[in-house]
Amino acid sequence: EAQVTQNPRYLITVTGKKLTVTCSQNMNHEYMSWYRQDPGLGLRQIYYSMNVEVTDKGDVPEGYKVSRKEKRNFPLILESPSPNQTSLYFCASGGLSGDEQYFGPGTRLTVT
Amino acid sequence: AQKVTQAQTEISVVEKEDVTLDCVYETRDTTYYLFWYKQPPSGELVFLIRRNSFDEQNEISGRYSWNFQKSTSSFNFTITASQVVDSAVYFCALSEARVVGAGNMLTFGGGTRLMVKP
């Protein structure tokens, strides 16, 4: 089954404690990205990757890091989480420009 | 810069009513793609439709229909004979096909929460 998986689905952590949210896709997509969803703001792109070892900033990259060492995986790293990073995070993957983006189930992160 | 506006933050209807969700977009590209996604209470994002800028034909899929008008930069979504299961947040999104370095970035509107009451 074609899918994007994310782990964990729910995470409560404290300010400053490094965390990683994993993302994996099984569709051999070159393009992967991370979004955060906040009330009234819709989804905003954090980082994206067009291929292995190729990543770039989206609209709201501050406080986040990513890596793309393998085509199927695109982890999101918060080196020192802060309360303003409390949000719902989605990983997405897709093919060529304009193709449908497939979204993971979401990770709800709370930073206290 | 591209922008998507969904002016209706919340809509409440009674079952079997028709409802239209508005979406207005801004882009400088001549080639772009428009999408609608549904987010039910369970939280996942469900793809509904994709439309490219060269195809202004309206589309119907069961009770769902979409009206794309380039002249007004709008891509509105209508649900006919709404049902309780249609209750969800609906997002309109835009992807510019030739933005250098941005790949497939989707710019989302703020979403419209639709509540369908029995």
The single-letter DSSP state of residue B82 is -
Residue A110 has pLDDT above 60, yes or no: yes
B50 touches chain A (CB under 8 A): yes
The answer to whether residues B74 and B8 touch, using CB atoms and an 8 Å cutoff, is no
SS3 of chain B: helix, strand, coil, percent, to 5: 5, 50, 45
Q: B4: which 2 tokens?
A: 């998507």
A97–B9 CB contact, under 8 Å: no
- Considering only the beta carbons, identify the residue of A58, A106, A108 that sits closest to B44: A106
Per-residue pLDDT, B26: 96
The answer to whether residues A100 and B39 touch, using CB atoms and an 8 Å cutoff, is no
What residues in chain B have per-residue pLDDT under 50?
Answer: none
> What is the DSSP annotation of A40-103?
TTEEEEEEEEEETTEEEE-S--TT-EE--SSTTB--EEESS--GGG-EEEEEEEESSTTPPEEE
Average pLDDT over residues A28-38: 93
Cis check for the bond before A81: say yes or no (omega within 30 of 0).
no
Per-residue pLDDT, B98: 59
